Structure 1
Amino acid sequence: MIGCSSTGSKEPKMRSVLAPLVLLFVVALIGCTSNFKLGERKMLQENYKNSFIEGFKTLSFCRCIKYGYDNKYDLVTEDASCRFPDYLYSEVALIDILAKVERDKILLDSASRVGRVAEGMEGKRVMDICLKFYNSSLLDSVAISRYQKDKNQ
C-alpha cells in the first residue's frame, strides 16, 4: 500500500504540471495562427495595392498609346497587359480622360516641332510622351489616390 500511495501521489502532481503546459502550448498555437493570418492578410492587401497601382498606370500608358496613334492599334488583342482586370473596371472613364489629355499634349508637341527640329525628326513622339506620363509623379499620385478610394469603399 505504501508503494501504491506514492505512485498515486505522483499522478496528480504530474497532471497539475502538465495541464498548464498544455494550456500554454494551445494559447501559443492560437496566437501564432492568428498572427500568421494577420500577416497573410497584410501581405494580400499589399499585393492588391501594388497590383491596383501598377495596373492603373499600365492601362493609362496603353490608352495613351492607343489615343496617341489615333486608335490605329488594337492593343487589347495584341497585349494582355492592356486588358482591364475586374478590379479596375470602375477606373476606365478616368483612365480614358487622363490618356486623352496626354493625346492632346502629343498633338500640341507635334505641331510645335514643325520647322524647329532636324529634318526627319518632325512628327508625333507618342512613345516618349506616354513613357514620361507613365513615370510621372502625377500618374503615381492619381493611382494611389484611386486605390485609397477603392480601399475605403
Structure 2
Amino acid sequence: MKGLCDTGRLDDVLHLLYSMLWRISRKGCDADVVIYRTLLEALCAAGRVKLVEEILGKVLKKGLRSPSTRRAFQRPVLSGATTLVEMKRTIDEALVVHGVRSPASYEAMITDLYKDDEFSHAGKLFHEMTQKGFRPLVSMIEAKIAALYTRTVC
C-alpha cells in the first residue's frame, strides 16, 4: 500500500481497501491500522479530505471499533484542521482512540510513529498503552532505538 501511495496510485489503493472491508467487518483488523493510516494521510496530502473522512468512518465502523462499545458512532471531522500535520494527528487519534485497543494496534501505531520521527506522539501512545495494562513489545523498543539512531546519525 505504501508503495502505491508513494507513486500516487491512490485510486488503486482505494480499490484495494474497499475490497478489504469485507474482511475488516468479519474479523476486525486492528493490526492493519498502519495501512489505513498510510492511505488516509496520502489522500489528505492529495487534498481529498472529504473522501478521507468517509473512508475513516467506514473503517472505524466496520472493524476497528471495539464490539463492547455501545456508544453512538461519530465520524471524525478533518475539515477543521488547517495543516496536513493536524490532519495526520486527527487520523492517528481516531484510529487509536476509536479503534480497538490491543497490543497489535498499539505496536503498529507506535512503531510507525517512531519511523515518522513523531517521538512525542509515540511517547504518549506508549504511556497510554502501559496505563491500560499492556506490556511493551520488543519490536516497539527496537523501533525507538532505530529511530533514535537514525536521528543522531543524520
For Structure 1 versus Structure 2, the TM-score category normalised by the shorter chain is under 0.3
Which structure shows the higher helix fraction?
Answer: 1
- Computing the radius of gyration over CA atoms, which structure comes out larger, 1 or 2? 1
Greater RCO (CA < 8 Å, at least 6 residues apart): 1
Structure 2 length-normalised TM: 0.24
Structure 1 length-normalised TM: 0.24
